[in-house]
Amino acid sequence: MYFNGEIVFDDASSVQVPPEKDEMWGLIKQTVQEGGQAMVFVNSRRSAESLASKYAKRMLALTGSSITKAERTVLEGGAETTAVGTKLAECVSCGIAFHHAGLAYGQRRAVEDGFRGRRIKCIVATPTLAAGINLPARRVIVRDTSRFEANAGSVLIPVMEIKQMCGRAGRPGYDPGGRPC
């Protein structure tokens, strides 16, 4: 659990996070500086795109990432380039990505492969990424615990989905020190 510049774990151990004006960026930055990768879960496609775009330039300054022309073409949507695809390619070229069900299969696959290959240091995603895809991260951040549903308004995300999100942290054989916060 993260609160007030400190992550406190179930075993009562804790880690201080260097102060940043934007606390979430502080968590991501610390993870990347320590050689890890981060996943941030949000409740909507728009939030995923917005947060990844917000942190893109900061991540580029931190990592100096870049992508090939072929990777850019896939991320942009191939022959049918879209505004979302262009935004995705810009983010990935900076070392951060967004992931949600509105992306084409090839785009989602490129993001997942880039994360596995450690070229992408942070993914901002909707909960759809949490189930069925083996993508581990050093640090998992669950920003939103509720979402909007058309027939019910704002509802809490089920505990099992939150556990699926947290389960991405520190998977055996991928990252030895992962913990959710």
pLDDT in tens, 123-166: 999 988 877 677 878 888 989 888 888 888 888 888 887 777 77
Query: How many structural domains comprise the chain?
Result: 1
Could you report the per-residue pLDDT of 80-95, keeping only the tens digit for each? 888 999 999 999 999 9
Domain assignment of residue 42, given as a range: 35-180
Asked, for residue 167, whether it belongs to a domain, the answer is: yes
Confidence of residue 177 (pLDDT cuts 50, 70, 90): low
Could you report the per-residue pLDDT of 47-104, keeping only the tens digit for each? 999 999 999 999 999 998 778 888 888 898 887 888 999 999 999 999 999 999 999 9
Asked, for residue 140, whether it belongs to a domain, the answer is: yes
Question: What CATH number should be reported for the domain holding residue 171?
Answer: 3.40.50.300
| 3-state helix/strand/coil string of the chain | CEECCEEECCCCCEEECCCCCCHHHHHHHHHHHCCCCEEEECCCHHHHHHHHHHHHHHHHHHHCCCCCHHHHHHHHCCCCCCHHHHHHHHHHHCCEEEECCCCCHHHHHHHHHHHHCCCCCEEEECHHHCCCCCCCECEEEECCCEEEECCCEEEECCHHHHHHHHCCECCCCCCCCCEEC
Asked, for residue 139, whether it belongs to a domain, the answer is: yes
Asked, for residue 8, whether it belongs to a domain, the answer is: no
Asked, for residue 115, whether it belongs to a domain, the answer is: yes
Asked, for residue 18, whether it belongs to a domain, the answer is: no
Asked, for residue 6, whether it belongs to a domain, the answer is: no
